[in-house]
Amino acid sequence: MQTKRLYSPNQIKDILERHGFNFSKALGQNFLIDGNIVRKISIAAGVDKNTNVLEIGPGVGTLTEELALNAKRVVAVEMDERLKPILEETLSGFENIKVIFSDVLKLDLKEIIEREFDGERISVVANLPYYVTTPILEMLFENDLPIDLITVMVQKEVALRMTAKPGSKDYSSLSIFIRFYSEPKIEFKVPNTVFMPKPKVDSAVVKMELNKKYDVNRELFFKIVKAAFSKRRKTIINALSSYEDLNVQKDDIRELLTLADIDENRRAEDLSIEEYLNLTKLLDMSLKLGFQGKKRLC
């Protein structure tokens, strides 16, 4: 049975130097080198011998190793092929790890999950650079993948927006997007000192349980949310009625807001996801009926 080698920061530095590895700013590379944080992430993700894990961005493999020690199987996707000899060294001896070198956004994850995990449900664990956080989450949420849990480490400011509630300064379209698909929670914050090289900002680990399936026109829902937050300083009636892609007249918006029991002078950040869902259902029905009056909607 493989045992943990407990690479120290100095050992990781020596490995990187021996392989002539230089960090890429373009890829947002900041490798996690703290064993305590690695263990906390694995615990937060609930990884045990029955867990199949898809890891995105293994870096030098410190978290990958911890996951493999506890999980049934780990498949890691790494974009930077320069890390191949390094990961071959740091992950040697593990029979339950496979590393795929590719851009995860270009992969057919359904096919990979079917092939590598026999179609069983999985947990996703990732250390996500800021520039690619939203695209990767969109891919994971919107492609009907057999995922039960997503545990990600992101910049602290992003984590606050992901988990923000109505009325807070961090509440945004991202907050609503995350809550549409999951129940998010910040597990713990991570100081910048546990990375190599050290980033300028701190991070946080966010856990998202995927247990929500809303029966609503998803495309229209996100169009309404985008319209509302595109002009978040405006009242909700002005933001929605002036958004060209929504293409709904102000009087019709007013009628819908009244039916939804939403004060037209409120702003985007004041509305809960339930209010956006209700508004979507009313607008969807109205569009199908051609706005033929309140009686048809009641």
Q: How far apart are CA 78 and CA 56, in angstroms?
A: 7
Binding residues: 30, 32, 57, 78, 103, 127
- Sheet containing 203-209: order of strands: 97-101, 73-78, 52-56, 122-127, 147-155, 203-209, 183-190
Nearest to 109 by CA among 79, 136, 149, 73: 136
CB 207 within 8 A of CB 149: yes
Query: Measuring CA to CA, how many Å separate 131 from each of 139, 155, 228, 266?
Result: 14, 10, 23, 31
State how far the alpha carbon of 113 is from the alpha carbons of 52, 72, 76, 162, 281, in Å.
Answer: 10, 14, 12, 26, 34
Q: Enumerate the known binding-site residues for S-adenosyl-L-methionine.
A: 30, 32, 57, 78, 103, 127
Q: Which residues pair with 183 in a beta bridge?
A: 209
CB-based burial label for 261 (10 Å; 0-12, 13-18, 19+): exposed
> Which pair of structure tokens corresponds to residue 219?
């495309």
